[in-house]
Amino acid sequence: MAPRILLARHGQTAWSLSGRHTGRTDVPLLDEGRRGAKLLGERLHREPWSGLRDAEIRTSPLLRASDTCELAGFGGRAREWDALMEFDYGAYEGMTPAEIQAVRPGWFIWRDGVPDGESLAEVAARADEVVEWARSADRDVLVFAHGHILRAIGARWLGEDISFASRIRLAPTSLSVLDWAYGAPAIDIWNDTGHLAK
């Protein structure tokens, strides 16, 4: 069986709740985010996942992702990986889209990028590194990371330009699965938050 990659976005933070671009700032999880991480872990430890006993697990080193990984019950098996860090938003770190639009009307991150931060090409290269690693594995992989980098990984898994990431949104503590269909890369599950309905 060809390997799949499971994508877990970190739990809710004060900045994700308010829509602020949270790149490298180490914002902690809210209580809601901690609860969501535990519920995600419960889901992944039940059938059909059964704790993903044979999966290789990696996490962004940023606390909101690594804490989500830990609370979900995978911290002892996970390896931190800088490739999974969020987009470096440079001058736009901590700003909301509305605040950015006020100084740069018409701005669109997936087309225009950010000043003094990471370029779209650099984000795409990191996403490609994750996709290559996942596809070369002989087993499923699970990653805990952030909204924009996970969306970039989704786009690149499908062979799309990074701008495609604008069309596949992700909620905090969501679960997504990138798989194969008819021998081609496919999305099996995307932005599933059913475990949060408890």
- CATH code where residue 78 lies: 3.40.50.1240
Position 184 scores a pLDDT of 94
Q: DSSP letter string over 40-83?
A: HHHHHHSTTTGGGTT-EEEE-SSHHHHHHHHHTT-GGGEEE-GG
Question: Has 53 been labeled as part of a binding site?
Answer: no
Is pLDDT of 2 > 80? no
Residue linked to tokens 């596949």: 168
Tens of pLDDT along 89-141?
Answer: 999 999 999 999 999 999 999 999 999 999 999 999 999 999 999 999 889 99
**Alpha-carbon span 137 to 132, nearest angstrom:** 9
Range of the domain at 65: 5-197
Tokens standing for residue 132: 């290559």
Catalytic residue among 10, 146, 148, 195: 10
The answer to the question of whether 23 is labelled as a binding residue is: yes
45 assigned to active site: no
DSSP alpha helices (H): ranges in 19-171?
31-45, 63-71, 97-103, 109-112, 120-136, 147-157
Respond yes or no: is residue 86 known to be catalytic. yes
Catalytic residue among 56, 86, 93, 118: 86
Token digits for 29? 């999880």
How confident is the model at residue 7, as a pLDDT?
A: 98
Say whether 194 counts as a known binding-site residue. no
Number of domains observed in the structure of the chain: 1
pLDDT digits (tens, 9 = 90+) for 16-46: 999 999 999 999 999 999 999 999 999 999 9
Write 126-135 long-range contacts (CB < 8 A, 24+): 126/83, 126/85, 126/152, 127/152, 127/153, 127/155, 127/156, 127/162, 128/156, 129/83, 130/5, 130/83, 130/84, 131/5, 131/156, 131/157, 133/83, 134/3, 134/4, 134/5, 134/178, 135/2, 135/3
Residue 112, pLDDT score:
95
Mean pLDDT of all residues in 170-192 = 96
Confidence at residue 137, expressed as pLDDT on a 0 to 100 scale: 85
Task: For residue 161, name the pLDDT band (cuts at 50, 70, 90).
Answer: very high
Phi and psi torsions of 77, nearest 5° = -105, -10
Task: Give the span between the Cα atoms of 178 and 157, in whole angstroms.
Answer: 7
Query: Which DSSP symbol is given to 102?
Result: H
**What pTM does this model have?**
0.96
Q: What is the pLDDT of residues 60-71, one digit of tens each?
A: 999 999 999 999
Q: Mean pLDDT in the chain?
A: 95
The count of C-alpha atoms lying within 13 angstroms of the C-alpha of 70, restricted to the half-sphere facing its C-beta, is 11
Predicted pLDDT of residue 110: 96
Give yes or no for residue 198 having a pLDDT over 80.
no
Q: How many CB atoms sit inside 10 A of residue 117's CB?
A: 18
**For residue 1, pLDDT beyond 60:** no
Tokens 């225009």 belong to: 112
